[in-house]
Amino acid sequence: SSGEVEDPKDEFQELLQTLEQKTSWSGTQLVKYNGFWFPVRAFKPVLSVQKYFKAKDSDIILCTLPKSGTTWLKALTFCIVNRHIYTIDQSPLLTSNPHTVVPFLEINLYWEQENPNLEHIRTPRIFGTHLPFSFLLQSIHESECKAIYICRNPLDQFVSFWHFMSKNEREKDGDPLAIDEAFDMFCHGINQFGPFWDHVLEYWNARLNNSQKVLFLKYEDLKEDVTLYIKKIAEFIGYPFSLEEEKQGLIQQIANLCSFSNLSNLDTNKKGKIIGMFDNSTYFRKGEVGDWANYLTPAMGERIEKLMENKLEGSGLVF
């Protein structure tokens, strides 16, 4: 052509057209790429992270499926890492949502720019991501960075996500909420960043291969004994608590600051909104284990249980 500048979007559009797409129950358009389903509107940023993100040795990457405890893990890790910079009563978490202080790679940093400059971020940089481990592989392997994964019982994760989408995506059109349809899609592995089992298994196996690289956590375990896991996280990322800090009760203070009741009652989380994201309040609902039973039938519970047994068989991972 006559010296026209090539539209850099074309390549992306071409790829998009070759891939399977589905409309999810919430109206979100999903696209399947390398075995995982992504919201179409997040797909370009996902590819950009894969292509451009370069981890530093000191980076800490918090990896999750949505609604698995991301907000909580972000808050805890931020506090642990920055405890020498901010005292508990001066914590930025008192005035900012955890997603503000710890941004997502694909949803925030790579959303508007294909290759943003992340060099100015103070180290150790902490990032969140919903990307599967296989999408981060290269960048993670080439550095000494640490990945922390948190997952959650699939039934609670599903119910939490269903509430989240109902609130954020369906509120406007007032349609009845299709929990059955949503559930069926979930069981077929068609959900954002899913299939659920493949997402968890990738991180589970990565942790088995290299326990220095990946810490694998469960939401339910943290609910049971958060101080134990605060210590584990701190050790894993190389910020262990001193005996003196322990004696001062610092671990308990961090647990309290980051607790559901404390964070959800802060003004910033009741009223605030992060640009380009949902109302801060929608990241806090109930924060309980087993709430699925209030929304799903025992038969649905059994279906997931069987499905998980089948998909996770031989892995050593159980829910």
For residue 285, what are the CA distances in angstroms to 32, 67, 98, 101, 194? Answer: 29, 10, 15, 20, 22
Least distance CB 152 / ligand A3P (angstroms): 8
Min dist. Cβ of residue 70 to ligand A3P (A): 3
Nearer to ligand A3P, 48 or 129 (CB): 129
Cβ proximity to ligand A3P, 183 vs 284, nearer residue: 284
Q: What radius of gyration do the chain's Cα atoms show?
A: 20
Nearest Cα residue to 199 out of 262, 144, 149: 149
Query: Which of the following is catalytic: 84, 99, 120, 130?
Result: 130
130 is catalytic: yes
CB of 24 to ligand A3P, least distance (A): 17
Residues that bind ligand A3P (CB under 6 A): 64, 66-72, 156, 160, 163, 258-260, 263, 283-287, 291
Residue 294 CB, nearest approach to ligand A3P (Å):
10
Residue placing its CB nearer to ligand A3P in the complex, 22 or 285: 285
Q: Is the Cβ of residue 150 or residue 206 nearer to ligand A3P in the bound state?
A: 150
Torsion angle of C-alpha atoms 93, 102, 67, 144, degrees rounded to 10: -130
SS3 31: strand
Residue with tokens 């005292």: 87
Q: Which residues of 224-254 are buried (b: 16+ CB within 10 A; e: fewer)?
A: eebeebbbbbbebbebebeeebeeeebbebb
Active site residues: 130
